[in-house]
Amino acid sequence: MYKCAVYTRVSTDDQNTSIVNQRGYFIDYIKSRGWILFDIYTDEAFTGTETTKRLSFQRLLSDAKEKKYNLLLAKSYSRFGRNQRETLDAIAKLLEHNVRIIFIEDNLDSKRDIGQFGLFGWLA
């Protein structure tokens, strides 16, 4: 059984409806699979290039270390992060704590596609 964390981010204040839409989408996605929603972590009006300034992102990593969830969902790799080094470091930390990662729009799943995560980091 998966206990899911969801990460949402928008880079500007005028994208607030995007956050609402993302939350609704993920709640339905998780419910349709019979999984459990642990928490939704949201960073609003923050660029994806600096993870240290995204407080929800930092809390997400801390909660993974404490084994509070075992599956992370995000809309896309670029919503998760845009700085290749920081994003790949965060992914490595999540994997180290046995967290499966799925980026829905990119059809990326760490269970089967871990080799492609670096390529997407370069593209983001």
73 CB neighbour count, 10 Å cutoff: 25
Query: Is the pTM higher than 0.75?
Result: yes
Q: Are 72 and 64 in contact (CB under 8 A)?
A: yes
What is the pLDDT tens value at each position of the chain, 124 positions in all? 899 999 998 766 545 557 788 889 999 999 999 999 999 999 876 555 566 678 899 999 999 999 999 999 999 888 888 777 888 889 899 999 999 999 998 888 888 766 655 554 444 4
